[in-house]
Amino acid sequence: MKALDITDLEKRYPTGVEALRGVSLEIEEGEFFGLLGPNGAGKSTLIHCTTGLAQPTGGSISIFGHDAIANYAEARQAVGLAPQEPNVDWFLTVEETLDYHAGYFGMPKRERRDRTKELLETFSLTEKRDERTRTLSGGMKRRLILARAVMHRPRLLILDEPTAGVDVELRLELWHYVQKINQEGTTILLTTHYLEEAEQLCDRIAFIADGQIVAEGTSPELAERFDVPNLEDAYLALVGRKELSRSHIELSADEVEA
Amino acid sequence: MNLPMTAAQIRFATLWRRECNRFLKIKKQTIGAPMLETFLYITVFGAALGSRIKHLHGIDYILFVIPGLIMMAFSTNAFTNNSSSILQQKFQGAIQDQLSSPASPAELLLAFSLGGFMRGLAVAFLTFIVSVVLVGLPVEHVLVLIPSLALVGFFFSQLGVLIGVRAEQFDDVAFAQTFVLQPLIFLGGVFYSAALLPQPFETLTRFDPIFYMINLVRYGFVGFSEVSIALSLLALTAATTALFLFNLRLFSRGYRLRA
């Protein structure tokens, strides 16, 4: 079954900016899928359209067979979103943040309580449970955002640059967790600027540029498609910055030594 | 026997709880300050001015003024709460958590509305209790009073939601409150009777929709009104329904909420 089926998706903002220009994308259930592209390519807009935060101006989105517009309740129930910016509610405590989120998704009280306790422990937030979210450090907010995203046990987890600005230790912790839930059956859609992470984690990757999917496949397939040795070079070829390739830099260093 | 709540009921209860929790967490500002403000009005206009005016239309001046103050407390708190809550959540981005949930536009709108309604009701109710104890405020027409206050509260809750959704900065909310709402309330006859005003001000007052709301509430408490109760109730019901439907349309379209 397809976890996410996007067909000819278009998004034109009232300002006239065309953020998405006929994007089509299929993600199978259980896949770990990476979406890569430069800033402003349309990654976040695509995610916002999928989660109901933006309204498409054309095309369709189906989430586990539910149309994201006509059957938005069923579609959104299946999705968990960890957004790029830590958008926590300043008035809530850490525990309330999780509890309220689960409530928005209709989870009964006892289940909310148990799940909150479980996730507070998983994300090392138990000691912070009664603290207001605005007092948390950036890293703690990131943990909370991810805990909140998985609180209602979504079948499709969308991670929009979840490790931007976090330290190595936390990054690895987060990746271990998402790999674990992916192995347990959760489909993951990840956007990131860390190409080595996409290479290591994702089953398949799509490149998006200027509101269009320009290439899609496994990491080796993409490298082959751009006739380069690895994913990073494929990405650099996509954004037209081949001169930044590490192989060029290493070559230049060799020339200097010679 | 306690039936388990449905997912939709849990969702709505949580959305509503969030809105009430917000103002209760800062109750010094959201309940305490409006209470103090209302009692300052009662002191200044009731005790100080009341010692000179004594009666208006045969009613103790303080009793004439308090229904308007209760209505004013209900309306401004309902308005302020909702406009601030929505704008703050837009700023923080926290509103995305609710917008990306399965909640329908009607559920979101009602929950946002009821937060302010509850805050306004709390301040109005506390003012009422204290007024009963201190000056023996009567309730002459409870069957007019309850629907009138409910409609006033819901109307201003909706207005707060509308301004909160439209607002892009806190200045937008402050502008609506300071330059539109406050003058309409003050000039709507909270502290005086329109009959005492010279022309053209008496006639102009009748173009102020809040004049009719104040008279409805005043009639419910002390049994005096300068307008038709039936017509005012009907007009207020129509205006509140129209505003709710307008807001519902905005929420359904995602106006300034969804990109």
Position B78 confidence tier, pLDDT thresholds 50, 70, 90:
very high
Q: Is the Cβ pair B254, A51 closer than 8 Å?
A: no
Residues from chain A contacting residue B5 (CB–CB below 8 Å): 108
Q: What are phi and psi of B100, to 5 degrees?
A: -90, 5
Position B194 confidence tier, pLDDT thresholds 50, 70, 90:
confident
Closest C-alpha among B45, B51, B39 to residue B65: B45
Cβ-based neighbours of B170, under 8 Å, separated by 6 or more: B87
* Segment (H or E) for B93: none
**pLDDT at residue A168 tops 80:** yes
A74: number of Cβ within 10 Å? 15
Write out pLDDT tens, residues A118-142: 999 999 999 999 999 999 999 899 9
What chain A residue is nearest to B85 in terms of C-alpha separation? A91
Phi-psi domain of A22 (left: phi exceeds 0; alpha: psi -120 through 50; beta: other):
left
- Among A98-102, B29-33, B114-118, B191-195, whose mean pLDDT is lowest? B191-195
In the numeric block, the tokens 């809550």 are attached to B85
Closest C-alpha among A144, A133, A147 to residue A80: A147
Residues from chain B contacting residue A45 (CB–CB below 8 Å): 259
Distance, in Å, from the CA atom of B254 to the CA atom of B103, rounded to the nearest integer, reads 13
Query: What is the least distance, in Å, from the CA of B243 to any CA of chain A?
Result: 24
What pLDDT is attached to residue B108?
Answer: 96
DSSP-derived secondary structure letter, A3: E
B200 preceded by a cis bond (ω within 30 of 0): yes
| Residue B93, CA atoms < 13 Å, CB-side half-sphere | 12
Distance, in Å, from the CA atom of B227 to the CA atom of B213, rounded to the nearest integer, reads 10
**pLDDT at residue B96 tops 90:** yes
**pLDDT at residue B1 tops 70:** no
Facing residue for B22 by CB, picked from A87, A91, A105 = A91
Residues from chain B contacting residue A54 (CB–CB below 8 Å): 258-259
B29: number of Cβ within 10 Å? 10
Q: Is the Cβ pair A106, B10 closer than 8 Å?
A: yes
Q: Is the Cβ pair A106, B93 closer than 8 Å?
A: no
Residues from chain A contacting residue B99 (CB–CB below 8 Å): 52-53
**pLDDT at residue B175 tops 70:** yes
Q: Considering only CB atoms, which residues of chain B are within 8 Å of chain A? A: 4-8, 10-11, 13-15, 17-18, 21-22, 25-26, 88-89, 92-94, 96-104, 254, 258-259
Q: Is the Cβ pair B100, A52 closer than 8 Å?
A: yes
Distance, in Å, from the CA atom of A254 to the CA atom of B100, rounded to the nearest integer, reads 52
What pLDDT is attached to residue A107?
Answer: 96
Q: Is the Cβ pair B102, A77 closer than 8 Å?
A: yes
Instruction: Tell me what the mean pLDDT of segment A165-173 comes to.
Output: 85
DSSP-derived secondary structure letter, B181: I
Residues from chain A contacting residue B100 (CB–CB below 8 Å): 51-53, 76, 79, 81
Q: Is the Cβ pair B100, A108 closer than 8 Å?
A: no
What pLDDT is attached to residue A64?
Answer: 97
Distance, in Å, from the CA atom of B34 to the CA atom of B200, rounded to the nearest integer, reads 33
What chain B residue is nearest to A98 in terms of C-alpha separation? B97
Write out pLDDT tens, residues A171-182: 888 899 999 999
What pLDDT is attached to residue A31?
Answer: 96
3-class secondary structure, A240: coil
Cβ-based neighbours of A207, under 8 Å, separated by 6 or more: A36, A37, A213, A214, A215, A216, A222, A234, A235, A238
Q: Is the Cβ pair A76, B8 closer than 8 Å?
A: no
Angle at B141 between CA B137 and CA B143, to 5 degrees: 130
Q: Is the Cβ pair A96, B102 closer than 8 Å?
A: no
- Among A205-209, B57-61, B214-218, whose mean pLDDT is lowest? B57-61
Q: Is the Cβ pair A76, B102 closer than 8 Å?
A: yes
- Among A31-35, A55-59, A235-239, B31-35, whose mean pLDDT is lowest? A235-239
Query: Structure pTM?
Result: 0.90
DSSP of A136-154, one letter per residue? S-HHHHHHHHHHHHHTT--
Query: What is the least distance, in Å, from the CA of B6 to any CA of chain A?
Result: 7
Distance, in Å, from the CA atom of A228 to the CA atom of A238, rounded to the nearest integer, reads 11
